[in-house]
Amino acid sequence: MRTPPHKTLPPPHSSIPSHPLSVLKPTIKRLRNFPPTNAIMRAYEYDNITGDQREDHDSGAVISGAALNQIGVLTHHFDSVDDVNALATERGYKNRDEVTISPSALGDLYEGKVKTFFHEHLHEDEEIRYVLDGHGFFDVRSKDDCWVRISVSKGDLIILPAGIYHRFTTDKNNYIKAMRLFQEEPKWTPLNRDPQVDENAYRTTYLKSLSVA
């Protein structure tokens, strides 16, 4: 997917020290100034009914914000980018870019990209997305390995811990624009689920964090 050149956040963000991937940090971080809130985002058990992934797939079983926090997923709603900047400083994010996922932005590549995003995968970095416009769904695995769907729209910010299995899709409107934040250079490296990835160091560290949460 083509994305605009990344932007470096203004000082003092650039003064935050980097952390090499070889140092495994605690997977779940709590914010001092931004307590998690699910006042806006709706989360529920995925209904697992065969069909278009972009449908709501709402089983009617609501998942609380506290339950999301227990698996390391943090959610916020910010009307101002100033709040996003403050959170970026808090968590050590120095770079950002913006992506638009829609047929008009991606042309013939759109359907293939959406299918790629929907493959179950994990990252070795925390994933943080701030929705600038549109709507989509993040699906994450619960403690018992069931899918939980989180609906995101403009102003929502979601943080997924390194090592959590998840996937993403647009909704039936086929449009979302989001800001991605990074500690280092912008990248998106998915590790699709398989037995080898199950033994990934970031995955095992994440699972250990659940046992003590």
40-50 exposure pattern, b = at least 16 Cβ within 10 A, e = fewer:
bbebbbbbeee
Q: What Å distances lie between residue 171 and 3, 47, 95, 118, 211, CA to CA?
A: 21, 15, 27, 12, 33
How many Cβ atoms sit within 10 Å of the Cβ of residue 75? Answer: 21
Would you say 121 is a known binding-site residue? yes
Q: What is the pLDDT of residue 211?
A: 81
Distance separating alpha carbons of residues 140 and 133, to the nearest angstrom: 22
Distance separating alpha carbons of residues 208 and 203, to the nearest angstrom: 9
Q: What is the pLDDT of residue 188?
A: 79
Would you say 184 is a known binding-site residue? no
CA atoms within 13 A on the CB side of 181: 24
How many Cβ atoms sit within 10 Å of the Cβ of residue 208? Answer: 14
Q: What is the pLDDT of residue 40?
A: 65
Q: Which residues contact 114 (CB under 8 A, 6 or more apart)?
A: 53, 54, 101, 169, 170
- Provide the pLDDT confidence category of residue 213 given band limits of 50, 70 and 90: low
pLDDT tens for each residue of 75-96 = 999 999 999 999 999 999 999 9
Distance separating alpha carbons of residues 29 and 123, to the nearest angstrom: 16
Helix H or strand E encompassing 111: helix 110-117
User: Would you say residue 212 has pLDDT above 90?
Assistant: no
Is 70 strand, coil or helix? helix
pLDDT tens for each residue of 24-39 = 333 334 443 444 444 4
Report the mean per-residue pLDDT for the chain: 85
pLDDT tens for each residue of 140-151 = 999 999 999 999
Classified by CATH at the fold level, domain 43-208 comes out as Jelly Rolls (2.60.120)
Q: What is the pLDDT of residue 173?
A: 98
Q: Give me the residue spans of the domains in the chain.
A: 43-208
